[in-house]
Structure 1
């Protein structure tokens, strides 16, 4: 087990600093940064075929941990994942990890960084001491927080987007990367503004990055551009209001007046396509009175109702769901706790027949529950009489009122769940993660919903069904491009469906619907910024 500096120098490799390639990314390269080698197997198990992985450890670990790492590397080789058998060991101490991780990233030049959970959930609560009890060793959280900070610094100095994933502590790696991610990437991340131009928004290590179409449907784009904003944790929720304004919602960690770190929900608005984004405002935290409880808050989901109110939902410290509402005049309501079953950190906010609704995957069961209101001013009601059984990491909103899409836990098939109705299967059991879609696409005179999802090894799969009639079935086809993030779809300013991915080289790629084609057909992929 080599120490810092020995692994590279001992092999006679020329460092990037001496070749002028310091900031040239290595496509397909992943840096996994963990506390010890024993933490790496869970992250390695989720890597796709074709990845090249370098593992960085803060400490060398025990003999048993190193043996487990060797077994994981052997398994990766059988799956087509290249992993160096000799991790880079930093010999880092608590409080001194960030600069060492930054040095490693400068040399490795990854496009993706994967690490541990910066804020692992408690296993119990010490009522006498009034604080959560954690099973995770302190070094794991410290390494994760240091890695997020180092990746941000690396992106700011390199100017190259870096995508960060944090592995949720205690999750089974066999569930797949989408199920184990602490801060999810959005499934809806490409939007059409009021002027008809498209914009794409994704979370990166240094904040939100944006690509912008220069003219509606014209093909020219600018970006990626790093938007001004706080040091966000690596996730993002993107929603649009009735005016077409784009609202970005995430989590940030900041130091409070007491000098301690606090986690809070934040929100910003994009009013005009391509223009500077509005200021980021805090939406608070349902457990704001106790920072140790607040750090466990789940990732926010959001939706607008018919009256223009923005509803934000999060999983709170007690594993319930909390919500607050912002009126069109900017005023926020207080946080409200939606009582009922224990919820996992996976929510999907949707627009129902009578206003905003939210679905949550159950924490202690294999079903999803739904909270709704008969009128916007009535109390929230929990609906447990659902037959929605989602695979972890797959809930997303569907265009039908109150409906969600998900993968069925028993078969991984894509399904649509609607209140008071049996689920409808859309097929597509291969791949993982959520499904995105857009309704109102003209396919030979029929109004259709176009769907995109991740297929085997991250390939983009596309399908369609008649609007409002998912029971008619979906024929899926391979779109011919892989993506590091969930693929997305939108209708452009000329009425064509546009699918978007981020390829393994970190560049945005899009394909537009071919007008007049027999059936659903797309143009060749266009690389943005090529």
Structure 2
């Protein structure tokens, strides 16, 4: 199986309701999947192919509170006709109900442009998230703005909604808090654009733009508090990680002029982010592909990620973006895809203080 290792997303390692970790990656003819044989590993099955002919090599993955995993991508199908062949472009999704089990058939939710196939072909890679009601899918439309579509608790999809915006680049990211409230970030030419729900299940509302010049396909986000999301991206000029500073009153800054701050971490692609407790402290763990091509990891106080953070390189050269998750034993688990297409995993040594990773395992 030819695994496509250059996937520019980080949320491809997830823990199922049974405690087992699963890793996903685009592959020729569909999606490659690895699954722990038991919660906490160390053995895995895979890679196995989840067939999805015509799927673009970019996959957004979202998990519900019930443990359902939604795989969302863009599929392009060649359609023959008497007037000549043409390509149909659709956003599609499949659902994994349990770890290691087959996924449902891939279902189409179309695009914001309906059967205007020339415009549909211009939509960006989707980003998906689950709130307290159901699945949201967002795409950059042909005009450079953002459109979204939501599935409700009954599994019924509403219409595509125009969220506006302009000059949006590749690499939007959407994240939900533990309460189920969603925030969406879209990098744009001169700004970072953001939307948020005022309450779980509510309408997404635009908040003030953050002046920035983000590099495309470098954004990520993580819930760093019960009702707080922290966003990260790389600036195009120096490839350093940046984040939006919280307002002085501790809010998300919706009514104030948002300000970005540099974390000083230079690398490539998006950084994986994870909230956990280390030595009794609420922490945000970040992992990135360093300039050297190696995985690099740092730990920050949650909600104050501009403080501290000593980056440590580990492992060997890899492709794409790293992923982070907590395994069934609560250990920080870092995963990368090697240049050879093999999954590599390192887990936290809980017997040592702070965040110390054990040996890398090639799956």
- 1:377, distance to aligned residue in structure 2 (A): 7.2
Q: Please say if 1:224 is aligned against 2:44.
A: no
Matches within 5 A, 1:142-221: 160-163=1-4, 184-221=7-44
Alignment check: 8 A CA contact 1:437 1:451 kept = yes
CA displacement 1:317-353 (0-9 Å, x = unmatched): 1111111100121100001111233322331123368
- 1:447, distance to aligned residue in structure 2 (A): 3.0
Q: Please say if 1:473 is aligned against 2:296.
A: no
- 1:314, distance to aligned residue in structure 2 (A): 0.4
Could you say what secondary structure the match of 2:297 adopts? strand
In structure 2, distance between residues paired with 1:379 and 1:309: 13
Matches within 5 A, 1:302-381: 302-305=128-131, 307-351=132-176, 355-362=181-188, 365-375=189-199, 380-381=204-205
Q: Please say if 1:499 is aligned against 2:334.
A: yes
Q: Please say if 1:510 is aligned against 2:345.
A: yes
| Structure 1 segments unaligned to the other structure (5+ residues) | 1-159, 166-183
Alignment check: 8 A CA contact 1:186 1:238 kept = no
In structure 2, distance between residues paired with 1:493 and 1:284: 37
- 1:457, distance to aligned residue in structure 2 (A): 3.7
Alignment check: 8 A CA contact 1:251 1:263 kept = yes
CA displacement 1:406-434 (0-9 Å, x = unmatched): 123343221222541533432212x2110
CA displacement 1:51-95 (0-9 Å, x = unmatched): xxxxxxxxxxxxxxxxxxxxxxxxxxxxxxxxxxxxxxxxxxxxx
Could you say what secondary structure the match of 2:25 adopts? strand
| Structure 2 segments unaligned to the other structure (5+ residues) | 247-251
Aligned residue pair count: 346
1 or 2 for the larger relative contact order (CA 8 Å, sep ≥6)?
2
Please point out which of 77, 95, 102 is paired with 1:269: 95
In structure 2, distance between residues paired with 1:450 and 1:298: 28
Matches within 5 A, 1:127-138: none
Residue in structure 2 matched with residue 438 of structure 1 by the alignment: 274
Alignment check: 8 A CA contact 2:269 2:320 kept = no
Residue in structure 2 matched with residue 252 of structure 1 by the alignment: 75
CA displacement 1:506-530 (0-9 Å, x = unmatched): 21111110012032111111111xx
- 1:380, distance to aligned residue in structure 2 (A): 4.5
In structure 2, distance between residues paired with 1:509 and 1:408: 28
Q: Please say if 1:399 is aligned against 2:223.
A: yes
* 354 and 506 in structure 1: CA distance in 2 versus 1, 3 angstrom threshold: closer
Greater percentage in helix: 1
Greater percentage in strand: 2
CA displacement 1:383-420 (0-9 Å, x = unmatched): 33424442222111222334311123343221222541
- 1:354, distance to aligned residue in structure 2 (A): 8.1
Residue in structure 2 matched with residue 28 of structure 1 by the alignment: none
* 489 and 402 in structure 1: CA distance in 2 versus 1, 3 angstrom threshold: closer
If the length of structure 1 is used for normalisation, what is the TM-score? 0.62
* 354 and 330 in structure 1: CA distance in 2 versus 1, 3 angstrom threshold: closer
- 1:500, distance to aligned residue in structure 2 (A): 0.7
Q: From the CA coordinates, give the structure whose radius of gyration is larger.
A: 1
CA displacement 1:204-239 (0-9 Å, x = unmatched): 122100011011113011111111333311111111
Alignment check: 8 A CA contact 1:323 1:338 kept = yes
Alignment check: 8 A CA contact 1:186 1:202 kept = no
Q: Please say if 1:428 is aligned against 2:265.
A: yes
Alignment check: 8 A CA contact 2:20 2:37 kept = yes
If the length of structure 2 is used for normalisation, what is the TM-score? 0.88
* 425 and 164 in structure 1: CA distance in 2 versus 1, 3 angstrom threshold: closer
In structure 1, distance between residues paired with 2:281 and 2:202: 38
